[in-house]
């Protein structure tokens, strides 16, 4: 792992994310970078399912939203410290996903994709009617919940650094899986699940494990982000749009590669930021995202990084 | 009874129907350690279905399959593979977007030895050398020719270090030079002590290679024996060439 050049690329990028806003104290920079960091984390983890294993998960935002709810519940109602709450949220969501994956992953191809949309809608409806989590109006973080982190201002900075850590972990996880036996098994499933089985890959088990693994870090990120934002509601937590945006980012950069998910997420957020703030194009970003998705799938299914590999085959060894 | 103890694979009264079609009908036979057993029969005789029953792709409706002393009836293909039974596909199934080397590493990693990546890579390189694909190891599997893909199928199953390998028409679609090369590979497999069960339409090749041959027709086993025995079995001749006495029979009835 340590010998791989890309390991050090990831470490450097993560450190740059952490240090730049801290050194300048620039709150605007911090706020733009936190959006990018969350996007990279979500896109990287959805890449484990789609890019590595070939299973399109439209419900990936469930992990993020459910993590947010569990995290907020533990920090505000139970009074837990943020880090413990975030990790427990991640573990709970992962275990839930593992059990759930055993059944839903019997479906293949488009049927799995459709089922994940159904699950997402079911989850949103359930939470909208779940009393302990505030039903449709959601939950709020009272101001004094931030005191344990040294006040709201410091809490925001701590949340930022935690999110950067989640981003770095997501990238390292992708890199680690890509170069492991586990990853090779996933690639085999992606290419031909039946052939993989005949070669000895226990596809049922592998799929359930990667589904569960891909849930952990997004859930942790959700717990931190919704705590930082101070509120959560079913519409914002289980938003199909965000799921699809994560998929667009990953496809834009290049599926199945670590670099692709990161670059796609960064670029997409730049574009979205520009569209959202420009007067004439405000709220137009979903139209652009849809168009982009169409263009990528039709003309560049391997994404930006895939095209880059084709121009420069050696890049494959460095930018994994 | 000694015979039975030596059997690596024992297939007992196995049947499989698809809808109303009886694809494999009460077939029994066994494969001994180190043997090359041929499987022939006209198109649609149920040869590939029999392979799929043995390696767990389909579950038999009736009958049992004992491999290496263990009842593997109804096991999933991955479990059967880890137990030491490898196969190739008639319609090749390369892992297209992976390199040739990685394809074979998958076989070594997830086969009977559960090798870690690094050891698997060494095994894979050796196997690629044996089947003559070493110079293509960094190509993507989809870039190979059909002959290359067939060799890749064989390499993947060999890398798994199996006790028994099922070869489904690995000679079909190859030109004479490639056929000769593949026959050399199959002989080398046996010399390593691996038993082979082979489906083949190329009569001359299978008659030469096999120690014994099983013949299927309409899902039924109609004959079993050495190449010489099979060659003069009237039922086999009829299955392949039609009834030699059909004209006379028709005349009599008419």
Residue B107 near chain A (CB below 8 Å): yes
Mean pLDDT of chain A: 92
Residue B244 vs residues B236, B247, B250, B254: alpha-carbon distances, Å = 11, 8, 12, 17
Mean pLDDT of chain B: 91
Question: DSSP assignment, residue A48?
Answer: I
From B112, which residue of chain A is nearest by alpha-carbon distance? A200
Distance from C-alpha of A220 to C-alpha of A228, rounded to nearest angstrom = 13
Residue A203 vs residues A7, A193, A211, B44, B133: alpha-carbon distances, Å = 28, 7, 12, 30, 27
What mean pLDDT is predicted for residues B150-156? 95
The neighbouring-strand residues paired with B85 are B164
Domain ranges of chain B: 1-84+164-254, 85-162
CB B88 within 8 A of CB B154: yes
- Residue A306: its pLDDT value, please? 84
- Residue B234: its pLDDT value, please? 86
- Residue B87: its pLDDT value, please? 95
CATH number for A5-318: choose from 1.10.287, 2.60.40, 1.10.3470, 1.10.10. Answer: 1.10.3470
Residue recorded with tokens 């050796």 = B126
- Residue B253: its pLDDT value, please? 66
Given a cut of 70, is residue A173 above it in pLDDT? yes
From B159, which residue of chain A is nearest by alpha-carbon distance? A199
The neighbouring-strand residues paired with B10 are B30, B66
- Residue A282: its pLDDT value, please? 66
Q: Do B109 and A181 touch (CB under 8 A)?
A: yes
Question: DSSP assignment, residue A58?
Answer: T
Q: Do B77 and A191 touch (CB under 8 A)?
A: no
Distance from C-alpha of A256 to C-alpha of B147, rounded to nearest angstrom = 29
Residue recorded with tokens 């996903």 = A97
pTM: 0.91
Q: Which residues of A touch B48 (CB under 8 A)?
A: none
Residue B81 near chain A (CB below 8 Å): yes
Given a cut of 90, is residue A303 above it in pLDDT? no
Q: Do A200 and B82 touch (CB under 8 A)?
A: yes
**pLDDT tens column, A196-222:** 999 999 999 999 999 999 999 999 999
- Chain A and chain B share a number of CB contacts under 8 A equal to 82
Using pLDDT thresholds of 50, 70 and 90, give the confidence band for residue A33. Answer: very high
**pLDDT tens column, A256-278:** 999 999 999 999 998 888 888 87
**pLDDT tens column, B102-144:** 999 999 999 998 899 999 999 999 999 999 999 999 999 999 9
Nearest to A200 among B81, B89, B93 (CB): B81
The class of domain B1-84+164-254 in CATH terms is: alpha beta
Neighbouring C-beta atoms of residue A37, cutoff 10 Å = 28
Strands B212-217 and B36-40: parallel
CB B195 within 8 A of CB B35: yes
Domain ranges of chain A: 5-318
ipTM entry: 0.89
Residue A41 near chain B (CB below 8 Å): no
Sign of CA dihedral B154, B155, B156, B161: positive
**pLDDT tens column, B185-232:** 999 999 999 999 999 988 888 988 999 999 999 999 999 999 889 888
Distance from C-alpha of A45 to C-alpha of A48, rounded to nearest angstrom = 5
- Residue B210: its pLDDT value, please? 94
Given a cut of 60, is residue B1 above it in pLDDT? no
Q: Do B95 and A188 touch (CB under 8 A)?
A: yes
Q: Which residues of A touch B111 (CB under 8 A)?
A: 199-200
Mutate to test the interface with A, among B78, B103, B111 (most CBs of A within 10 A): B78
The H-assigned helical ranges of B7-113 are 47-54, 77-82, 100-110
Nearest to A199 among B96, B110, B117 (CB): B110
Distance between A185 CA and the closest CA of chain B, angstroms: 7
Interface of A with B in 152-211 (CB under 8 A): 180-181, 184-185, 187-188, 190-192, 194-204
């Amino acid at each position: 792992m340590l010998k791989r050049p890309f390991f050090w690329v990831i470490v450097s990028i993560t450190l740059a994310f952490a240090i730049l806003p801290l050194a300048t104290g620039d709150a605007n920079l911090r706020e733009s970078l936190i959006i990018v960091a969350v996007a990279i984390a979500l896109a990287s983890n959805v890449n484990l399912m789609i890019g590595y294993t070939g299973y399109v998960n439209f419900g990936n935002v469930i992990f993020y939203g459910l993590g947010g709810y569990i995290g907020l519940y533990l920090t505000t109602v139970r009074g837990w410290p943020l880090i413990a709450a975030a990790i427990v949220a991640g573990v709970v969501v992962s275990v839930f996903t593992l059990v759930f994956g055993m059944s839903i992953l019997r479906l293949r191809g488009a049927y799995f994709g459709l089922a994940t949309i159904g699950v997402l809608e079911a989850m949103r409806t359930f939470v909208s009617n779940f009393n302990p989590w505030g039903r449709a109006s959601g939950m709020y973080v009272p101001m004094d919940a931030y005191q344990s982190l040294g006040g709201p201002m410091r809490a925001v900075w701590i949340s930022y650094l935690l999110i950067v850590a989640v981003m770095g972990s997501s990238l390292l996880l992708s890199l680690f899986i890509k170069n492991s036996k586990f990853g090779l098994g996933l690639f085999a499933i992606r290419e031909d699940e039946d052939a993989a089985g005949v070669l000895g890959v226990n596809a049922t088990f592998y799929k359930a494990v990667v589904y569960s693994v891909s849930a952990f870090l997004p859930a942790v990120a959700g717990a931190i982000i919704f705590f930082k934002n101070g509120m959560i509601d079913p519409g914002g937590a289980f938003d199909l749009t965000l799921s699809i945006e994560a998929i667009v980012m990953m496809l834009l950069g290049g599926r199945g590669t670590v670099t692709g998910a990161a670059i796609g997420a960064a670029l997409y957020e730049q574009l979205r930021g520009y569209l959202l703030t420009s007067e004439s194009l405000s709220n137009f970003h979903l139209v652009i995202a849809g168009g982009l998705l169409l263009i990528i799938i039709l003309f560049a299914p391997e994404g930006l990084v895939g095209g880059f590999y084709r121009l420069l085959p050696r890049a494959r060894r460095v930018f994994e | 009874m000694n015979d039975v103890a030596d059997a690596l694979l024992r297939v007992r009264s196995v049947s499989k129907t698809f809808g109303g079609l009886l694809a494999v009908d009460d077939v029994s036979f066994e494969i001994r350690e180190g043997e090359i057993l041929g499987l022939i029969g006209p198109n649609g005789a149920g040869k590939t279905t029999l392979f799929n029953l043995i390696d767990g792709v389909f579950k038999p409706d009736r009958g049992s399959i004992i491999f290496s002393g263990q009842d593997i009836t109804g096991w999933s293909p991955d479990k059967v593979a880890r137990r030491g039974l490898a196969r190739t596909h008639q319609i090749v199934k390369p892992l297209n977007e992976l390199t040739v080397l990685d394809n074979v590493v998958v076989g070594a990693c997830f086969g009977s030895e559960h090798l870690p990546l690094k050891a698997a890579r060494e095994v894979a390189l050796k196997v690629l050398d044996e089947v003559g694909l070493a110079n293509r190891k960094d190509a993507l599997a989809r870039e190979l020719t059909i002959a290359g893909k067939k060799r890749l199928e064989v390499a993947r199953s060999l890398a798994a270090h199996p006790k028994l390998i099922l070869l489904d028409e690995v000679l079909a679609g190859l030109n004479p030079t490639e056929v000769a090369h593949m026959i050399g590979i199959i002989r080398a497999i046996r010399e390593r002590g691996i038993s082979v069960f082979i489906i083949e339409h190329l009569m001359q090749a299978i008659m030469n290679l096999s120690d014994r041959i099983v013949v299927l027709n309409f899902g039924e086993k109609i004959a079993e024996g050495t190449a010489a025995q099979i060659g003069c079995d009237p039922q086999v001749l009829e299955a392949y060439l039609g009834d030699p006495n059909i004209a006379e029979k028709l005349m009599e009835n008419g």
